[in-house]
A = this chain, B = another copy of it.
Amino acid sequence: MIGAEIFIEPGQTEAETETWFQRLQAHHLTVTRIRMFESYMHQPGGSWDFSLFDRAFILAGKYGIRVYANLFPATDFTDIGGFKFPDDEAHLQRIALYIEQVVNHFKDFPALYGWVPVNEPGAGKLPQSPLTGQKFAAWKQQQPDTLYNDLGYPYLHFDEERFLLDHNTWFLAWLTDEIRKYDPHKPIHVNNHQIFSNVAEYDFPAWRSFLSSLGGSAHPGWHFGYFNRSEYALAVSANSEIIRSGAGTIPWFMTELTGGNMTYSGSRDIFCPTQEEISQWLWACLATESKGAIFWCLNPRMSGMEAGEWAMLNYQNEPSDRMQAAGEIAGLVNTHADLFACARTDESGIHILYTRESLWIEARFSPVDASDEARRPGGVMQSALAYFETLSQLGVQANLKEIREFDFSKDSYRNQALILPHTIALPSSYWQSIVHFVAKGGKLIADGLTGYYNEHAFCILKACPLQELLGGRVSEFKYTANRFTVTFNQPPVSLPAHAWLGTIRPDTGTVVATYHDVPIALRNRYGDGEVFWTTALLGLGARIERNYRPLAALLEQETAEILQQVSFRFREFQKGMLMKTLVSGSTYITVIINKSGEQRTAEVLVRPPYGNNRIFYANKGGSIQGTIITIYPEETLVVEWG
């Protein structure tokens, strides 16, 4: 399922359109996505002319390319990504009519594989429109009429945020229902976007009931503002983990990956991907169970904002080096379709959690011009990313999950770790779950202001519901400095920290770090498990300084038992590298990416020892000798362990 979007617009010739499908076929790309512009179908007099798109679907069939049809009701020509919500009831009816027309017309084309009901849902904030206002009013009617929490305190309701979550789900479900009226069976797929900030408005678990598969748009030029270019591969990996977790029981694949150059579109920083980056991103997705990826886009559109940008074919419709890189991987994957069809993530047992409510509170409370990164929007998510980045550089796959996506219903969590990185808001409905996790053998790691608020921005440091679990409680948080260093004992490791420190009053916990004689970290046995808790913002501290090695040392120690169960990891922290592992039957596939800027030799720790291995893919001459890999700058190395 690796492919590229063919951008269809009036004015294109049939010959050219055919060329695009030929190109896909020639490069082993088996799937495309087509934006089904109502504007190019619905005629001024009200009639419908589908011919432009009919031609594409027929050609798709001719070349054996499967098509995801992306619904795209009429919008302004300058509306580059499409509207996210209908304006009013009449608009909704126009959309319904469009769906009726398009689905009925295209559903029987053999090339049609499935539907994408809307492009990139996710509005960033609650839109102002009559329909939204009306829906919001109705939604409020259904909310419990309480002004006070269980303790009798007033609290923040986050109505806008909670409604937006539901509103996204409602609209997706409505779109799906409309499609299903005319096409009850074809797969339905949705691509979210701007994941690191929009994620708090996506209720992925709720979507699983009506989606066939989940997807995403991962465009560094629009979405990866928290990352430098050398970190984009890691960002794709993190983005993928978030979507994999959101998909849960349904499959997922990356719906949009950047295929080419940007000129004016994109945000602050733009670029043109190298062929090496194309390989890195594609493998990063595949190594996260993605069923494939569709590049945006195959051919450069000629009109409007984005004209001449983003494409994998050049202006002469010839394949770029990026296209060739993608095609090579696609060919390889197709050849080993069986291997990948049932490949699953080789779970490490380590789960980095975030909570929607932390993001909501941060978005409401943080001053945009704050001096401290922790007080600017992004502090929470970047804390989570820091742990992900650290583990990636240890060669360890980590899950990245909204708390609702973690399964707290098991009886044992031995060899499982939960990381709560500066998780400022812990929803009360999960307090007992977290306790249960540890009681049943899990390892909990928490840092920063984790557990400062509940889901209503109510401060729970006084009530301290997790006190018994943590083995102590915070007596005060104090702003310390923008950057400072904290030292942990056993073994001694100094880590960059940031902003606040909480003074801990230990109960059952053992103090494992102090700062000017004040306890700032505890280790506490609880039930069959253990908690490692510090009030220092170790994740954000590491990320601000791009100094992950000390945190890696700490994590290696705190998850030592778990790591011993991990099939593959780096023997030593590899700055600027990442490794992810798939398992398929008795075969393991490790994907290793080198963004360090230098040639590296690294030992892979293997458990149990797999004697046979071979280079499955290497694009810069990398090699393996026993368990020692040699990998060149920018290279992606894929090793198969038999």
Q: A: which residues have CB within 8 A of B?
A: 9-12, 39-40, 77-78, 148-149, 151-156, 260-272, 300-305, 307-308, 314-316, 318, 320, 361-362, 364-367, 369-372, 375, 449, 452-453, 456-459, 461-462, 464, 473-480, 500, 503, 505
The residue from B77, B308, B459 contacting A477, defined by CB atoms under 8 A apart: B308
Max chain B Cβ within 10 angstroms of own Cβ: one of A151, A152, A154: A154
21 cross-chain CB contacts under 8 A? A9-B153, A9-B154, A10-B153, A11-B149, A77-B154, A154-B303, A156-B303, A269-B370, A270-B375, A271-B479, A301-B459, A303-B457, A304-B457, A307-B453, A307-B459, A314-B476, A315-B475, A316-B462, A316-B473, A318-B475, A320-B476
Among candidates B268, B301, B318, residue contacting A369 with C-beta atoms closer than 8 Å:
B268
The one of B304, B320, B461 in contact with A156, judged by C-beta atoms closer than 8 angstroms, is B304
Task: Return the contact of A262 from the options B77, B300, B479 (Cβ within 8 A).
Answer: B479
Q: Which residues of B contact A263 (CB under 8 A)?
A: 375, 449, 452, 477, 479, 500
Kindly report which residue of chain B lies nearest to residue A475, judged by CB atoms. Answer: B314
**A459 surroundings in chain B (CB, below 8 A):** 300-303, 307-308
Q: Pick the contact of A464 from B11, B315, B375 — CB < 8 Å?
A: B315
Contacts of A464 in B (CB 8 A): 315
Cα separation A39 to B154 with both chains bound (whole Å) = 10
**CB neighbours of A148 from chain B (8 A):** 10-11
CB distance from A480 to the nearest CB of B (A): 8
State how many angstroms separate the Cβ of A603 from the closest Cβ of chain B. Answer: 34
Once bound together, how far apart are the Cα atoms of A516 and B174, in whole Å?
52
Chain B's nearest CB lies how many Å from the CB of A52?
10
Q: How far is the CB of A312 from chain B (nearest CB, A)?
A: 10
> Besides A261-B476, A271-B479, A301-B459, 6 other CB < 8 A contacts?
A155-B303, A155-B304, A156-B304, A303-B456, A315-B474, A318-B475
What's the least CB distance linking A374 to chain B, in Å? 9
**Docked CA distance A269–B370 (Å):** 6
The docked-state distance in angstroms from the alpha carbon of A364 to that of B11 is 24
**Cβ contacts under 8 Å, A456 to chain B:** 303
Task: Please tell me if the beta carbons of A302 and B476 are within 8 angstroms of each other in the complex.
Answer: no
B-chain residues with CB within 8 Å of residue A308 when the two chains form the complex? 452-453, 459, 461-462, 477
CA distance A11 to B149 in the complex (A): 8
Q: Is the CB of A11 within 8 A of B152?
A: yes
Given the known A-B contacts A307-B453, A505-B316, are A261 and B302 also in contact in the complex, defined by CB atoms under 8 Å? no
A316 touches B365 (CB 8 A): no
- Distance of A629 from chain B, by nearest CB (Å): 28
Contact A458 B303 (CB under 8 A): yes
How far, in angstroms, from A479 to B220 measured CA to CA in the complex? 14
CA distance A267 to B11 in the complex (A): 46
Shortest C-beta distance, A542 to chain B (Å), equals: 20
Residues of chain B with a CB closer than 8 A to A266's CB: 367
CA distance A242 to B130 in the complex (A): 49
Residues of chain B within 8 A (CB-CB) of A365 are 264-265, 305
**Contacting pair A371 B269 (CB below 8 A):** yes
Nearest CB in chain B to that of A368: its residue: B268
Top 7 A-B pairs ranked by shortest CB distance? A11-B153, A11-B152, A308-B459, A264-B365, A307-B459, A272-B478, A314-B475
Contact B270 A458 (CB under 8 A): no
Residues of B within 8 A of A473 (CB): 315-316
Complex: how many Å from CA A303 to CA B375? 19
Question: A480 — which chain B residues lie within 8 A by C-beta?
Answer: 272
Q: A78-B156, A457-B307 are in contact. Are A475 and B262 (CB under 8 A)?
A: no
Closest chain B residue, CB of each to CB of A153:
B11
Instruction: Give A268 to B369 CA distance when docked, in angstroms.
Output: 6
Roughly how many angstroms separate A152 CA and B366 CA in the complex, as a whole number?
Answer: 49
The residue in A12, A272, A476 that gathers the most chain B C-beta atoms within 10 A of its C-beta is A476
Smallest CB-CB separation from A361: which chain B residue? B264
Report chain B residues within 8 Å CB of A370.
Answer: 267-270
**Cβ–Cβ contact A367 & B475, under 8 A:** no
Question: How far apart are the CA atoms of A505 and B314 in the complex, in Å?
Answer: 11
- B-side contacts of A461, CB under 8 Å: 300, 308, 315
Q: Which of A12, A262, A365 has the most CB of B within 10 A?
A: A365
Q: How far is the CB of A199 from chain B (nearest CB, A)?
A: 20
Chain B residue with the shortest CB-CB distance to A316: B475
Establish whether residues A264 and B316, one from each chain, have CB atoms under 8 Å apart when the complex forms.
Answer: no
Q: How far is the CA of A272 from the CA of B475 in the complex (A)?
A: 14
Measured CB to CB, the nearest residue on chain B to A474 is: B315
B contact residues around A371 at 8 Å (CB):
268-269
Shortest Cβ distance from A501 into B: residue:
B272
Residues of chain B lying within 8 A (CB to CB) of residue A316: 462, 473, 475, 505
